[in-house]
Chain A
Amino acid sequence: MNEQRGSWYLLTGLILGIVVGLVVAWGLLPLNADAVTPQSLRADYKDAYRAMIALAYDATQDLTRARSRLALLQDEDPPSVLAAQSQRYLAAGYSFDEAASLARLAVALGEAPAPAPRTPTAGPTTAPAAGVTVTSTLEASALPPTEATASPAAEDAITPATPEGTPTVSSTPTLTFTPIPTFTPLPTRTPTPTLAPPYVLLSQNLVCDPAFGVSLIQVQVTNAAGEGVPGVEIIVQWEGGEDHFFTGLQPEIDPGYADFEMTPEVAYTLHIADGGEAVPLFVPECDDPTAGRFFGGWYLTFTHP
């Protein structure tokens, strides 16, 4: 009986020690309490963080610093994440400046894969074949070089430090302000490209691809060297309506690419916001031996002469 009692009190002591140890390790003195990084932020705070990085990049044009800041978030593909956030911001009605900043940074990251200055490449980027059916080759051929991760050595603005206090783990954060949506537009930036308008319509191709499923106006805007130009505002009008969209929001396709979904039996007019000729458009009807009749789209290429 005495031996039994001995075993029980030892076990009790062991369990008591384990419980105290876990309380200390997880609650009182967590190991990495001084290492809360941006990567651990809640998703909406990460969005606000990215937006601030993009605005700061617009302000300084310091791509190395922007890259190192983005690396802290450990996104798998920062250009794509930035572009997607830009589109979400536009769709949600956030300030255009923030969305445009995000898009510009996405493009800048996609265009500058190496720390060394980039040498511009000449030649057209996404001109479709001069036939009737295009677009299926667009995504594969127009991918800009993407480069996502930044060198840790580039983190010139981030230095290790002793924390001021012990951060707390918060699965249900208590802050009540909304960090994202209402930053004041920056007056010094414009969404226009560096090249002077007007752009001219270089080509207009019918797109008949049943795989698309929707009727798109695909627009490619290039400069005189054939490089895609981001940030170009395009206006599409129809009876009783108008919409504006911008190149550069899908850098995974091309910095100068944008598209707009048409509705059948509506007549559209499209033109570059900064000037140039208006292009009348409608939803074309295509006929395919296997897919039958379906609605197609248009692929327009504008360039600066």
Chain B
Amino acid sequence: MSRWVRFLIAILVGLGLGLYYGWVVSPVEFVDTVPSTLREDFQTDIVLMVAEIYQADGDLAAAMHRLAFLGERPPLEVTQAAVAFATQAGYSARDLDTLNNLLQALPVDVEATTP
């Protein structure tokens, strides 16, 4: 077996050890994250909460402000993504209605609210 083959095998063994350690023994822990990094279903639920509050109080400015919780994306884009996910994931008709109510109320040309 040539030296290069043995060298390659050593690298592969090391790679395996490194992956095992990084994925199994000591995987990455996410701490102090920001809402925009949340999994999509969690982000969708946040939008649903905003929509529920909006349905009760009708305060669109407050709803847009709350949507800024999810980052700097425009409120319309955030809500559209949430509606798409909710539809795909099979949310209840009532929740979809709530989300769509918010979506329809949002102005098209407004950037993200930056308090």
User: Which A positions have Cβ atoms within 8 angstroms of B?
Assistant: 6, 9-26, 30-38, 40-42, 45, 48-49, 52-53, 55-56, 58-60, 69, 72, 156-164, 167-171, 173-179, 182-184, 186-188
Q: Which of B11, B66, B71 contacts A16 (CB 8 A)?
A: B11
Q: A26-B22, A178-B115 are in contact. List 18 more A-B contacts (CB 8 A).
A: A10-B6, A13-B6, A18-B15, A18-B18, A18-B21, A21-B14, A21-B22, A24-B22, A33-B28, A40-B31, A42-B32, A49-B46, A59-B53, A158-B45, A164-B81, A170-B32, A171-B31, A173-B33
Q: Are A161 and B15 in contact (CB under 8 A)?
A: no
The B interface, classified by DSSP as helix, strand, loop or mixed, is helix
Interface check B17, CB cutoff 8 A: yes
Task: State in angstroms the CA–CA spacing of A108 and B55 once bound together.
Answer: 21
With A31-B28, A59-B52, A183-B66 known as contacts, the answer to whether A173 contacts B14 (CB < 8 A) is: no
Interface check B105, CB cutoff 8 A: no
Task: State in angstroms the CA–CA spacing of A187 and B61 once bound together.
Answer: 13
18 contacts between A and B (CB under 8 A): A14-B14, A18-B18, A20-B18, A21-B14, A22-B21, A30-B28, A31-B27, A32-B30, A37-B39, A45-B34, A156-B92, A157-B48, A158-B42, A163-B40, A177-B114, A179-B68, A184-B57, A184-B62
Q: Are B8 and A31 in contact (CB under 8 A)?
A: no
Closest to B31 in A: A40
Task: State in angstroms the CA–CA spacing of A21 and B71 once bound together.
Answer: 32
Closest to A164 in B: B40
Q: Which of A10, A24, A72, A156 has most B Cβ within 10 Å?
A: A10
Q: What's the least CB distance linking B34 to chain A, in Å?
A: 4
Residues from chain A with a CB closer than 8 A to the CB of B14 are 13-21
Closest 3 pairs (CB-CB, A-B) = A21-B18, A17-B14, A25-B22
Residues from chain B with a CB closer than 8 A to the CB of A45 are 33-35, 69
Residues from chain B with a CB closer than 8 A to the CB of A59 are 52-53, 55-57
Task: State in angstroms the CA–CA spacing of A219 and B31 once bound together.
Answer: 41
Q: Are B57 and A186 in contact (CB under 8 A)?
A: yes
Closest to B20 in A: A21
Residues from chain B with a CB closer than 8 A to the CB of A9 are 3, 6-7, 10
Task: State in angstroms the CA–CA spacing of A25 and B36 once bound together.
Answer: 22
Q: What's the least CB distance linking B53 to chain A, in Å?
A: 5
Q: Are B115 and A177 in contact (CB under 8 A)?
A: yes
Residues from chain B with a CB closer than 8 A to the CB of A16 are 10-11, 14
Q: Which of A159, A167, A184, A188 contacts B38 (CB 8 A)?
A: A167
Q: Are B65 and A183 in contact (CB under 8 A)?
A: yes
